[in-house]
Structure 1
Amino acid sequence: MNRAHFHREHAEQAQAEAQRLWNARAELGARWKVWVATELYELTPPAYAAMVRRELERLASDNQA
């Protein structure tokens, strides 16, 4: 499976996972960064973890505006 196909197949799931992680911020407070780093570390394959990380970055930038 090539990269573009992998991305298409998993984009929606990565967005949902990033949203789940993002939504936990209020509940976890100061512990969120460590928790989310651990969650990302446990995601496989690494390409999927990178997709979720990029979605989290997008959510963070969208919420700064």
Structure 2
Amino acid sequence: MSWNLANRPADERQAQEDEKSRLFEFWQQNLERAKVEAGKLFGERSKRKGRWGDWVKDEIDALSPPEYQALVQREVNRLVAADK
């Protein structure tokens, strides 16, 4: 099985392109909000100490839609990596 889009039927290629466009638009519209949310969550790190990891996971899991959860998770990960 090939993953090359050129080998896929036109309707399947179009559906994948439409999904990529939708996700890109979602990313553009929500990135700043996700950065603010991640900053708030990261700000709790020093207060919650060892319990922060579980707490932040629960907070992110409560967000919706899943695409927004992923944006916030990536931003939290970026902040944690920059803090090391």
Q: Same fold (TM over 0.5)?
A: yes
In which range does the TM-score fall when normalised by the shorter chain? over 0.9
Q: Which structure is richer in relative contact order (CA contacts within 8 A, separation 6 or more)?
A: 1
Which of 36, 44, 56 is the equivalent residue of 1:24?
Answer: 44
When normalised by structure 2's length, the TM-score is 0.73
Query: Which residues of 2 match residues 1-65 of structure 1 at below 5 A?
Result: 2-64=22-84
Q: Percent identity?
A: 34
Unaligned runs of 5+ in 1: none
Query: Please, what is the CA RMSD of the aligned residues?
Result: 1.0
How far apart are the structure 2 equivalents of 1:12 and 1:27?
Answer: 24
What number of residue pairs does the alignment pair up?
64
Unaligned runs of 5+ in 2: 1-20
Query: Computing the radius of gyration over CA atoms, which structure comes out larger, 1 or 2?
Result: 2
Off by >6 Å, runs of 4+ in structure 1: none
When normalised by structure 1's length, the TM-score is 0.93
